[in-house]
Amino acid sequence: MKHQMSRGKFIRLGGLTLAGALISDVVFANDFIKDSKPKIDSLLMKKLILNNDAKVKSFLDKDPIVANNRISNFRPIAGLISTMTASISNSGSAYYKSKILADKLNQAMDVLLKEQYPDGTLDAGGNRQSPPDTAFILEYICPAAAVLNEAKQKDLEGLRNKMKTFIVNAGEAMATGGVHTPNHRWVVCAALANIHSLYPDPRYLRRIDQWLAEGIYLNEDGQYSERSGVYSVVIDKALITMSRLLNKPELLDIVQKNLTTYYYYTEPNGNLVTVDSKRQDQFMNLTVSKFYLPYRFMAIHTKNTMFAQMVNLIENLPDFTSETLSGSLLFFMENSELQQQISNESQLENNFEKFFALSNLARIRRGKTAITLFGGNDKPLLIVSGRSSNPNFLMYRKGDAILKYMRLSTSFFRMGYFSSDGIVKQGNKYILTETKEADYYQPLAPEFLKSDGDYKLSPSQDGRFWNKMDFDSRTKSNVKKQVTVIEIAENNGTLNLDFKVDGPPNVEVTIEMCFKEGSEITGAIMDDKNNYFLNSGLGKLSMGADTIEFGPGKVEHQNVNNLDSEDITYHQGNLRTDGIHVYLTGFTPFRHTMTIG
């Protein structure tokens, strides 16, 4: 492996050595302007300094750091260290060379050193002596050390030595410690790259090579294995760090593909589609603001107008100040390439249909209408980190009018929500299908009988329950099947839906629509539990000047409890979310067609 250039030299060169290494496979941009000095986005830098100072002031107005307090989450302290370092080292800051900040920084580093274990690790909540969680802390501490080393303030020599002690100690954990999840490998590698750039040691490079030898998984949809917005940005940042500091430009090709996917996963208001995630964000609301630094870095490197547009979108989101301006100054100082201006002249047309076949997810944009279809859960369904299990199969937005999700559930053996076995695309039609099966069991054959009745504790063959019944030795009988087919056709932003549910007769079927809180619903009737039922005709959702019409309605029963499977309801749990819920209901054999537009 080639040794990387020093971090200081990289910063002084302006970070342009990788320019032109990539060309977008989506949007081709103009060539770099040769022999022209990059222009600094001075307005953005002023905003970063002002907001960083505001965060420092807010911290100084609060209670001081108490070294004796027991702490189990060190990211807030690491974030404060990065924020204070940026202000004390930036000549444009009101806190430049502040003695008060110097004292606070020393106190904060004393806390980290006190809590650091002899093996170099820190705790993180339930994760004890955790190498990967320590790597997340180094994501802040290493750039802080780099900026302090570059500034060379004499009265901060003691602080720099404390940071070096902490970082070198943590380097032992990074060079030998293990991980939990796929993204942890690359976070640890990024930490090792950061440490090596500050305090070179060939062991760090060998450990990076050992992890990289496993390969970085990115499928044809542009998704990492966890298919998660939370962890995609974690990996993108880690790969960018390794690319910069280890002279590995090939890693940026992976980042580029992932960021292209998240362009399509971004809603008009900046929210991210997370329904297909295999991690905790499949039930969370995220915005694309978390991707700001990767998009900005890659927009500058590739001149990709798609990425530049994403940068401009994020800079105009309501959470840009809280997500970015108040905590990113240090990273702009450590990597001055981020300071370059980005053109906002080009605007891409928001009119596309993109089918991610491996994720079984479709994204459609028609102006201000945005549609998501999903049918890619992991079977058998389990509510656990690392598996996709979200029951939302359709999401629909038209400006501020938002259908958060549509679900379908039946009372068939209380097996819960519809979860499609993938998506088949035929022309402008998407077909989602699921087959559920439940069994009964015959008496045991003579060779399996026990006089004391103490049979093997085992799960039923359909996985619905456990008992001392030795199910594997029994013959199944009276097998019941239910087949659900949902066909969805899109025409210029309007959806036509055709529902078919077949199997045993008289099974309750419930179509559930959840609209954004604060929406006004007309055409449907509310019951005493604040649920709406659309008996017939069209319903309308209104939010400001935007509306969504849906229907016609159908109501043959009003039992909308226990829509989740017994896996969840047995423990008094449910997947119902906040919002305004509208229901259509019927019985098998169930047939219904409706439109949303």
CATH of domain 42-339: 1.50.10.100
DSSP 128-180: EEEHHHHHHHHHHHHHHHHHHHHH--GGGHHHHHHHHHHHHHHHHHHHH---S
* 97 vs 115: CA distance, rounded Å: 27
Look at residue 323 in the predicted model and tell me its pLDDT: 87
SS3 letters across 213-243 = CCCCCCCCCCCCCCCCHHHHHHHHHHHHHHH
Distance, CA of 95 to chain centre: 35
Kindly report the number of other CB atoms within 10 A of residue 371's CB atom: 23
pLDDT digits (tens, 9 = 90+) for 140-165: 999 999 999 999 999 999 999 999 99
Instruction: Please return the burial class of 309, using the count of CB atoms within 10 Å of its CB with bins 0-12, 13-18 and 19+.
Output: buried
Q: Taking Cα atoms as reference points, which of 203, 182, 181 lies closest to residue 192?
A: 203
In the chain, where are the structural domains located?
42-339, 352-439+480-596
Can you tell me the mean pLDDT for 180-200? 97
**Cα–Cα distances in Å, from 353 out to 201, 264, 493?**
49, 9, 10
The answer on pLDDT for 126 being more than 90 is: no
* Residue-wise burial string across 404-442, b where 16 or more C-beta atoms lie within 10 A, e elsewhere: bbbbbbbbbbbbbbbbbeebeeeeeebbbbbebbbbebe
**What would the mean pLDDT of 205-218 be, rounded to a whole number?**
97
pLDDT tens digits, one per residue of 393-435: 999 999 999 999 999 999 999 999 999 999 999 988 999 999 9
463-490: per-residue pLDDT in tens? 888 899 999 999 999 999 999 999 999 9
Which position has the higher pLDDT, 248 or 463? Answer: 248
Counted residue by residue, the chain has a size of: 597
Helices (H), 61-98: 75-89
Sheet strands (E) in 271-388: 351-356, 361-366, 369-374
Here the tokens at position 18 are 């990788």
What is residue 340's DSSP assignment? B
Q: Which stretch of 6-10, 64-68, 384-388 has the lowest confidence by average pLDDT?
A: 6-10
Q: Which amino acid is at 381?
A: L
Q: What are the tens digits of pLDDT across the range 503-535?
A: 999 999 999 999 999 999 999 999 999 999 999
For range 330-334, the mean pLDDT: 98
Q: What is the average pLDDT score of the chain?
A: 90
Class of domain 352-439+480-596: mainly beta
d(CA 394, CA 212): 37
Distance CA 490, CA 153 (A): 62
Extract the tokens encoding 233. Answer: 């940005």
| 113, HSE (Cβ side, Cα atoms, 13 Å) | 16
SS3 content of the chain, % helix, strand, coil (to 5): 35, 25, 40
Confidence of residue 282 (pLDDT cuts 50, 70, 90): confident
Model confidence at 28: pLDDT above 50: no
Task: Name which residue leads in pLDDT, 328 or 7.
Answer: 328
User: What's residue 72's pLDDT?
Assistant: 76
- At 593 the pLDDT is 98
**Under a CB-based contact definition with an 8 Å cutoff, are residues 133 and 187 in contact?**
no
